[in-house]
Amino acid sequence: PMGVAGGLSAGGLSMGGGEEGAQGLGAQVGGNSQQLAPQQAPAMAPQQQAMQQQAQQQQQQQQQSSADAALQGINVSQYVVINQSIGLFQQYPQLRQHVAAAINQAIKDIIAPVVERSVTIACITTRELILKDFLFEPDDAMKTAAHMMVQNLAGSLALVTCKEPLRHSMCNQLRGIIQKMATFVNEVVDQVTLDQHVQLMAAENLELGCGLIEKAATEKAVRDMDVALEVALLHRRQPGSPFSDALLHLQNSIRLLPEALRPRRGGLLAHQKRVYDDFSRLPRERVAAQQAAAAAAGPLGASDQALRAFNEGPNAPVQGQGVAGAGGAQQQGGMVAQTEARAVLDKCAQCLAKAEEVVLRSQQLAASPLASLPQGHELAQLMMQSRALVLQSPAREEVAAGFAQKLLRRLYDSSKFGRCVLGVEWLVACLSSLNDVTKRVAKECTSWLAQADADKKLNRDLTVALVTARLLIISAPEYTDEMIKIMDLGRNQPAIDAIVAMLQHCLVEKRVVSASECMGLLEALTKMAQVSGRKPTEGMVRLFEDARSLARGMAPTLAGAPLDKSKLQDRKMVPVGKAKDPDDPAGLREQVQFWLDKWMALGQSTDERAVLQLVTQLLQQGWLKGDEVTDRFLRIAVDLSVERSHTAASQPGAAAGGGYAQVDALSRLVGVLLRYLEEWNRSAGLTKQTLLNKLMAAVVKAMHVQHAERKATFNQRPFHRLLLRLLVDVSEVMPEAMVLSLADVLQALQPRLLPAFSFAWLELVSHRYFMPRMLQAKKNKGWAPFQRLLLGLFKYMEPYLRVAELHEPIKLLYKGALRVLLVLLHDFPEFLCEHHLSLCDVIPPSCIQLRNLILSAFPRNMLLPDPFTPQLKVDLLPEISKAPAILSNFTAALNASNLRPELDAFLKGRGSRTFLQDLPGQLLLPTLAEAAACGTRYNVPLINSLVLYTAVHAIMQNGGQDKNPVTSGASMEMFLKLSRDLDTEGRYLFLNAIANQLRFPNSHTHYLSCVLLLLFQSTQDKEIVREQITRVLIERLIVNKPHPWGLLITFIELIKNPTYDFWRHDFVRSSKEIEQLFQSVARFCLPQQAVGGGGMGPGVEGVAPGGAAQS
């Protein structure tokens, strides 16, 4: 016997109803009949088959009736979303009610099987766990926990299961309704348009259907769970049957369970009960949006209140509905949770008050560090008590965040407790313990400090303490932006000195942050030093050099050491130390070589015991403690592996691509160490991430040293093999950390720093183990590092591409870059869409096809309209009013040149009268040296930033309502002024900046396309302006595909619309070759009609359609 659970199973109780139990009993009876009277078996078979069919029909009818009951109290048509942009509803308003009926029918078709399956699985799972865990608990507690668990399990299962079938069912129902309507009114509906409308309506109403199905599943799960538990509760209530009697029946099965899972006579422990309590706090991603929609809808009826209560969560109370649970003792949703959280927060505040009282008892105690206190001191107990309160709270994250804010305010106030040594250390330690409970604490601390006063932000001691404790994320954009504002473009020198001192202490002296984490502040300091024109302080120069050294894996300048002014002036970095460091202890290199040889002897051994034994010996010998010995061990291991690879490859008769056994062995060793490190090494000094960072630093340092020594004879293959094997081996253990670490390494090894590593670098950047994982990382955290890698590549090639000096190595590198962009265009177009501005800033104007690849990208969820469609109304496209996402900081160049304040004032109508006259001169580079280095006198990123910023400002001012937004206004006045006053070079770059925004359908494309056409039409402009506009457009069209959609739309409008009188201009007919070129492009852009006629000029009439542009 299996006790209560066994009795339920043996009794044939089914969570889906009594039919399955009846079928099981009938099967047993049928089997016995066959044994007793075999001759009756043929006669029984048809009867049994009929009974089974009847039972299935009854079950389907019950399921359908339960589905109808679930939808009976809810007016589905009231919540159906109908997109007003669909023309069918404007033409046939009566179609709306049919759409609501179709949505309702689609939900009915899906709800019954989904709810039945989800509830069955959830009830069986809940029943088995509840009967075991709550064996010694009261009935009320058992039913309360069972309701919470089964509601969440059934609702989540239904939500996951129903989404795709429901979408398919909605599409079929809606398609049928629209097709019937079209047949009735005798119209033909385009199949593509029909599919678009159906998909749009289904997507907009999918959440409604999922919510109704989830609600029906949770309600049915509670009812079925009560039935399932009734037998067990009756057994517990029988006289003379105490709870302990049931344990005797379960003893055979309980022996198979681990000790932690066995029921105890004293009942569940606190952490075990919390497992069931957590079901009431499971997150729902769409809750906030639905709550806002429900609040905006106003008063609700009874059925709508039920739907709203379901949307707010399975345990939320519903008005007029009782709360399940005996005696009404069940918690009432979020109100009780908030009350409990407030009570716990009050208790934590009492611990804080007691701690302050203890610290301020004596001045000697207040001046003592926290580490000097005995182990069981009262302060330590108060810290542990506050942490225990947070851990035991049902809403631990909310309580932890609230208590953290109290601690932060106490840390920064002017009280004695917040200023003494012990008080500060206790508050920081308490915050650190809360951060161990939930990482939300660090985010809250960063957000709070970012919004605090400037004096609090510039408190160096407290900032360093928070950064050291990992409570302040200095790489957070909100914190970085606020610190940049405080520096006031370099005018607030005390703030700059405080930030430099803080970075020097955290980055160089304590090494509690990496150079990549400080990149935002370091870049801001660099730009301010360049813009201000003042000589940077010695502390700032030292910080820049140390940060650059750390980024390259080299030793920073020691504090107090004299600076080499010549090195600071020419900005060249000399790697620190040789491959064989003279500071290494005698015999250290031989010891490392011994362990590598021992590991090589294992080879590809599958003996896991021998591998673990070697790892254990390395740990016992102290090689992996995370100190200087670990750094030396990894550095020497990398040097030895690369040296042996060089030697093996140079041997006569060595196979091509051979000699990598040592490098592969080192990579396997690192993979094994990372796999078993935290399990075997109890020291907190070395974690997986720390070990990986130390190894990468050793590789970077070795590469810089060898590149500086060997220069043209540098062999990139061993390092390429090592990094590639590490990417493959380490990704099995920690995939995301590996690709992000490798991104930092590749940034330190970019072609501008190590030209001899360029080809291996590009191969690693585009590798299938690296690039897809970077661009598919959660929350797009790999996009910014990958963008920096591409910028580094194009900045290295820019001088060669600008002057068209494409030697064979540069040609190969250029082809590789083109292929990488093609892969990005095909697989990750959103990345190119959102970073197009920063990429165009570093690509010279002569690389037209390279730039076209970037500008041709459009989001994958967008259906791009055919630009060659006759009578295409661009301004009526739904996407044309939406602004595109741009992750590049397009205001950086304006801020760096101090042009933004004057520009803002001019665009708002409050600018100086001389602004437009002075603007062309402000677009020039300040020095001749910079102009010679860039190959142009103009600041190209500033022009690109100016054009986009002005366009965004004009679109925002227009509000998307004015049908002709560019005919007047300050923005258009500035564009006209620049087109007339700039010289030939500046005007070409200015028009290129406008053409760079002619991309997929969006508000920027629409606005700047109108700007370009209006500049061409303006009667006051010189002919050279029209000719340059034509050149900018035509040179982007005569290259091979792809071509940006906005570029095609603009040029087609220019040559088709007689308003612009394109074909009568002299530059179109300046030579026979030019005229043939224009005709060829016109054939490509107007494939469905002849080019000519309609006032286009006699020279192009009768040109046959078709053909393509030839470069």
Q: Token pair 């007919």 is at which residue?
A: 1069
Decide: 836 and 851 in contact? Cβ < 8 Å: no
Mind listing the pLDDT tens digit for each residue in 568-578? 333 333 333 33
pLDDT (average), residues 100-122: 88
Could you give the CA distance from residue 773 to residue 780 in angstroms, rounded to a whole number? 10
Taking residue 635's Cβ as centre, other Cβ atoms within 10 Å add up to: 24
Question: What's residue 79's pLDDT?
Answer: 73
Q: How far apart, in whole angstroms, are the C-alpha atoms of residue 231 and residue 59? A: 23
Could you give the dihedral angle defined by the CA atoms of residues 673, 679, 685 and 691, in that order, rounded to the nearest 10 degrees? 20
Quote the DSSP letter at residue 805. -
Handedness of CA 654, 655, 661, 667 (dihedral sign): positive
Locate 59 and state its tokens.
């079950």
- Tell me what the pLDDT averaged over the chain comes to: 75
Sorting pLDDT into bands at 50, 70 and 90, what band is 255?
A: low
Confidence class for position 1095, pLDDT limits 50, 70, 90: very low
3-state class (DSSP) for residue 1065: coil
Phi, psi of 1103 (to 5 degrees): -70, 130
**Which segment of 138-142, 366-370, 398-402, 705-709 scores lowest on mean pLDDT?**
138-142
Could you tell me if 837 and 888 are in contact, meaning their C-beta atoms sit under 8 angstroms apart? yes
Contact yes or no for 982/932 (Cβ under 8 A): no
The yes-or-no verdict on residue 408 having pLDDT over 70 is yes
Mean pLDDT of 154-165: 88
**Contact between 280 and 394 (Cβ < 8 Å):** yes
**What six digits make up the tokens of 421?**
């040594």
Backbone angles phi, psi at 848, to 5 degrees: -75, -45
**Tokens representing residue 828 in the block:** 């990750």
The two structure tokens encoding residue 851: 């730039």
1037 CB-near residues (< 8 Å, 6+ apart): 1043, 1047, 1048, 1051, 1081, 1084, 1085, 1109
Q: What is d(CA 803, CA 26) in angstroms, rounded to the nearest whole number? A: 89
Exposed/middle/buried for residue 1051 (C-beta within 10 Å: 0-12, 13-18, 19+): buried
Contact predicate 187/135, CB 8 Å: no
Lowest mean pLDDT among 291-300, 714-723, 744-753: 291-300
The two structure tokens encoding residue 712: 């043209």
Task: State how far the Cα of 454 lies from the Cα of 461, in Å rounded to an integer.
Answer: 14
Q: Do the beta carbons of residue 865 and residue 814 sit within 8 Å?
A: no
- The Cα 629–Cα 731 span in angstroms is 26
Judged by DSSP in three states, 586 sits in coil
pLDDT of residue 49: 55
Q: Are 852 and 959 in contact (CB under 8 A)?
A: no
| pLDDT reading at 450 higher than 50 | yes
What is the model's pLDDT at position 946? 94
User: What pLDDT digit, counting tens, does each position of 769-816 carry?
Assistant: 899 999 998 888 899 999 999 999 999 998 888 887 788 889 999 999
Dist CA 1019 CA 902 (whole Å): 29
Residue type at 437 in one-letter notation: V
With cut-offs at 50, 70 and 90, classify the pLDDT of residue 330: very low
Q: Taking a C-beta distance cutoff of 8 angstroms, is the pair 1039, 1111 a contact? A: yes
First to last CA, the chain: 86
Residue 500 reports pLDDT greater than 70:
yes
Average pLDDT estimate for 234-247? 52
DSSP character string of 989-1004: HHHHHHHTT--SSSHH
| Mean pLDDT confidence for 757-761 | 93
pLDDT, one tens digit per residue, over 511-536 is 777 776 777 788 788 777 766 666 77
Q: Do residues 991 and 1029 lie in contact, with contact meaning Cβ atoms separated by under 8 Å?
A: yes
What's the pLDDT band for 605 if we cut at 50, 70, 90? low
Supply the Cα-derived Rg of the chain in whole angstroms: 36
pTM of this prediction? 0.50
| CA–CA gap between residue 971 and residue 387 (Å, rounded) | 58
Give the position of tokens 């192009």: 1100
Report residue 1015 CA to chain centroid gap.
40
Q: Are 704 and 552 in contact (CB under 8 A)?
A: yes
Residue 246 has pLDDT above 60, yes or no: no
**pLDDT category of residue 679 using cuts at 50, 70 and 90:** low
Can you list the pairs that 413-421 forms with residues at least 24 positions away whose Cβ atoms lie under 8 Å? 415/356, 416/360, 416/366, 417/356, 417/359, 417/360, 420/359, 420/360, 420/366, 420/367, 421/366, 421/367, 421/368, 421/369
Give pLDDT tens digits for 870-885. 778 888 888 888 899 9
Residue 282: its pLDDT value, please? 56
Closest by CA to 434, choosing from 335, 343, 345, is 345
What residue type is assigned to position 18 of the chain?
G
Rounded CA separation 189/86 (Å): 13
DSSP 8-state secondary structure symbol assigned to residue 1111:
-
The identity of residue 655, as a single letter, is A
pLDDT reported for residue 106: 87
Give every CB contact of residue 314 below 8 A, 6+ residues apart in sequence.
Answer: 148, 151, 152, 155, 218
Residue 19, H or E segment? helix 19-36
Asked if pLDDT for residue 401 goes beyond 70, the answer is yes
- Per DSSP, the residues of 217-233 read HHHHHHHHHHHHHHHHH
User: CA-CA distance, 880 to 1010, in Å (whole number)?
Assistant: 12
ω into 1042 cis (within 30 of 0):
yes
Q: Which is higher by pLDDT, 1068 or 830?
A: 830
Q: Yes or no: say if 203 and 143 are a contact pair by the CB < 8 Å rule.
A: no
Q: Which residue has the higher pLDDT, 22 or 224?
A: 224
Using CA atoms, how far apart are residues 957 and 944, in angstroms rounded to an integer?
20
> What is the pLDDT averaged over residues 1022-1035?
89
Quickly state the pLDDT bin for 10 (edges 50, 70, 90). very low
Task: Give the span between the Cα atoms of 190 and 133, in whole angstroms.
Answer: 60
Give the model's pLDDT for residue 965: 52
Collapsed DSSP state (helix, strand, coil) of residue 1103: strand
Q: For 105, how many CA atoms within 13 A lie in the half-sphere containing its CB?
A: 13
Q: In this structure, are residues 347 and 388 in contact, taking their beta carbons and an 8 Å threshold? A: no
Q: Per-residue pLDDT for 1111 more than 60?
A: no
Residue 442 has pLDDT above 70, yes or no: yes
Residue 699's Cβ-count burial label (10 Å; 0-12, 13-18, 19+) is: buried
Q: What is the arithmetic mean of pLDDT over 435-443?
A: 82
> Residues 152-175: what's their mean pLDDT?
88
**pLDDT for residue 812:** 92
Q: How far apart are CA 317 and CA 300, in angstroms?
A: 15
Alpha-carbon distance of 813 to 804, in angstroms, equals 14
pLDDT over 90, % of the chain: 17
CA distance 126 to 120: 10
- Contact between 471 and 432 under an 8 Å Cβ cutoff? The reply is yes
Q: How far is CA 1009 from CA 874, 881, 1029, in A?
A: 11, 13, 12
pLDDT value of residue 604:
60
Output DSSP code: residue 651.
S
Q: Which one, of 982, 1071, 1075, lies nearest residue 1021 by Cα?
A: 982
Inter-residue contact 511 to 483 (CB < 8 Å): no
Least confident among 305-309, 630-634, 1076-1080: 305-309
In whole angstroms, give the CA distance from residue 456 to residue 453. Answer: 5
Q: How sure is the predictor about 830, in pLDDT bands with cuts at 50, 70 and 90?
A: very high
SS3 state at 591: helix
